[in-house]
Amino acid sequence: MSEEQQIGFKRVHFFKMFLTEEDWNDRHLFHIQKEELHVRQVHGKGIVQYYADELMVRQRPRAELAVDVLPGYLTDELGQDVILRERLTLTFTREEFYLPCTIYVLARFKLTPVNHIRFKDGRREHKYVEEQAEIVLLARPPEENESELARVRLSTDVYKVTDARDPYDPKDNEIDLRFRLASLVPMRLSQELKEMLLKGLRARRYHFQRIGGNKLLRPAATLGHNIAILEMLVDTDQLTPRGALALLDTLNAIDLSLSTVVGRDIDDPWSKERPDWQGFTKNCDIIRSLLSGSDPYRLGNLEQIASFMNKSNDLFSGMTSLYGNDSLVYYDGQEPMLAKTYPISDDWERVKVWSADFPEILYVDGLEWHLIDTLDMTNEADEKKFNFKIQKALDAWKTRQKLLYPDGTMVDDTGVAHEGGYSEYEIRGVVPDTHLAIIRMMDYARADYELEFIVNDQFAGVSQCIGHDRRCRWRNWPMVIPAWFVNDDVLRIKQIMTTAERDVNMFRYWFYQPLGY
């Protein structure tokens, strides 16, 4: 009776004088059907991971027109166990296949009668049925009762089959393992290894977020949020050993990213000479070497890799205390409140008439503004550095002026001017999410105009140059780009004259940003 016809499974009930050949076979059939049902519904069809060599298909030690199938275990669509206990070599023959074609390495379940005996009446019976794995080469995809172990696209001139150089993009005559199906049999991490990973991830998230509180190292905070995602993944208790290797590989890449961010954005030549920093980079190199081996090698060293990863946590304390800033940490989902406007107050009047060299630090509006760069308009190196250009102008020219500041200081300088159109330049090394003051040295003899500022293709405000002075003509005119528009470490500034019949001149620029805004 088929499984669909019967209401439930029939279990044999023994009683005296009841035991026939059919009864014994029914007894075994009951257990076989129950086991196959369990395998089909709970584990599914596929190759069981971490058992032996997982039925891997590899090239021969000396590449030839053959492949080796390594020992392993899979379950087929009917819930039957296909177990290969010894290495098997399969040979491709040109006469058997019409080239070019794709050859599939297929596994299927096979029952073979064994231990035959002969009765006195001449009958021949077998005492056992042996479950075997049948591995074949066929020029067609697998059918319902078959499982694919690999495939190879054979060319017309094939003379050997090799492992794929790029497993994600195998070429002709290379073994393609992309279509192997894994069973749902879970092999979870040990509780000790899980706790080791969680401890390391939590410590890293703490340090990364605090290092990311430094305005110069804001990408570290984003890396910290990525670590939080990895932490949630481990906490689900669904991570397999192979998944743990992928997680550790990702975590090591995040560590190397932090190394790149600090080296790029921190102007401290001695940072990489610190013992904790050298220990951190050394650990990254060790972990990378341990992760670069074959799967059996990496799986065998899983706990050692996690141990090295945790060792790096102790080295973060020095960097966190040196570069971190708890007060500026942005947690996931928390948006900083950034100003979209910045009115020029009367406090900037003393900056307008400043005649001495501009200092490294200015105190304006209660903020400590730090000089980040300067632009000399007639210095060719500066023009290239800032990528300064005047575009679509009706007229543009260079000018040299020897003029007075209001305090009587005479200054001789050269600059550029244009009528119509706009000027544009790039400022690098900007700290995002904080104001940027652009101070322009100008000839104030004929002002009364407005300049629009476009920052990274966003309208950021208008600078009103009101008034004029034909006697003391030098002024340092400020324009503050609000923090909302300072959204990158490189800003493309477009300065557009919007007043008719006026020209705009510029001799020097100073760029400042406030500390701790």
| 88 CB-side CA count, 13 A | 20
pLDDT at 371: 94
Domain boundary among 301, 328, 355: 328
CATH code of the domain in which 364 resides: 2.60.120.260
Specify if 181 maps to a domain: no
Residue 512 tokens, joined = 């400042």
Tell whether 183 is covered by a domain. no
Residue 149, helix vs strand vs coil: strand
Residues 354 and 318 in one domain: no
Last residue of a domain, one of 176, 205, 222: 176
Contact 55, 71 (CB under 8 A): yes
Whether 444 is covered by a domain: the verdict is yes
367 with 476, same domain: the answer is: yes
pLDDT at 354 over 70: yes
Would 7 be classed as within a structural domain?
yes
Residues 1 and 57 in one domain: no
- Total structural domains within the chain: 4
Does some domain include residue 142? yes
Comparing C-alpha atoms, which of 495, 456, 461 is closest to residue 481? 461
Band (pLDDT 50/70/90 cuts) for residue 376 is very high
Task: Give yes or no for residue 2 having a pLDDT over 70.
Answer: no
Q: Are residues 430 and 485 in the same domain?
A: yes
Share of the chain above pLDDT 70, in %: 92
Q: What is the mean pLDDT of the chain?
A: 86
What is the DSSP-derived secondary structure letter of residue 158? -
Who wins on pLDDT, 516 or 308? 308
Q: Is 83 left (phi over 0), alpha (psi -120 to 50) or beta?
A: beta
Same domain, 391 and 476: yes
* 350 and 369 share one domain: yes
Which tops the pLDDT comparison, 272 or 264?
A: 264
- Note whether 389 and 455 are same-domain residues: yes
Which tokens in the block code for residue 427?
A: 């400022």
175-223: pLDDT as tens digits: 999 999 988 766 778 888 888 888 888 888 888 878 877 767 778 878 8
- Model pTM? 0.49
Long-range contacts from 336-341, C-beta under 8 angstroms, 24+ separation:
336/433, 338/433, 338/482, 338/483, 338/484, 339/435, 339/482, 339/483, 339/484, 340/482, 340/484, 340/485, 341/461, 341/482
In a domain, 337, yes or no: no
Parent domain of 102: 46-176
Say whether both 500 and 406 belong to one domain.
yes
- Note whether 272 and 217 are same-domain residues: yes
Is there a single domain that holds both residue 28 and residue 58?
no
Question: Position of tokens 């080295």?
Answer: 315
- Low-confidence winner among 154-163, 213-222, 299-308, 367-376 (lowest mean pLDDT): 213-222
Statement: residue 41 has pLDDT above 60:
yes
Residue 458's nearest CA partner among 478, 482, 438, 437 is 482
Q: Say yes or no: 127 and 254 in one domain.
A: no
Strand, helix or coil for residue 510:
strand
Q: What is the pLDDT of residue 271?
A: 66
Alpha carbon distances (Å) from 110 to 48, 56, 82? 18, 20, 8
**pLDDT tens, residue by residue, 93-113:** 888 888 899 999 999 999 988
The answer to the question of residue 465 being in a domain is: yes
Task: Give the containing element (helix H, strand E) for 118.
Answer: strand 101-118
- Measure the CA angle with vertex 483, ends 478 and 487; round to 5°: 115
| Same domain membership, residue 18 and residue 2 | yes
Provide the 10 A C-beta neighbour count for residue 119.
8
CA-nearest of 123, 135, 37 to 78 is 37
Which of 294, 328, 362 is where one domain is finished? 328
Is residue 458 in a domain? Answer: yes
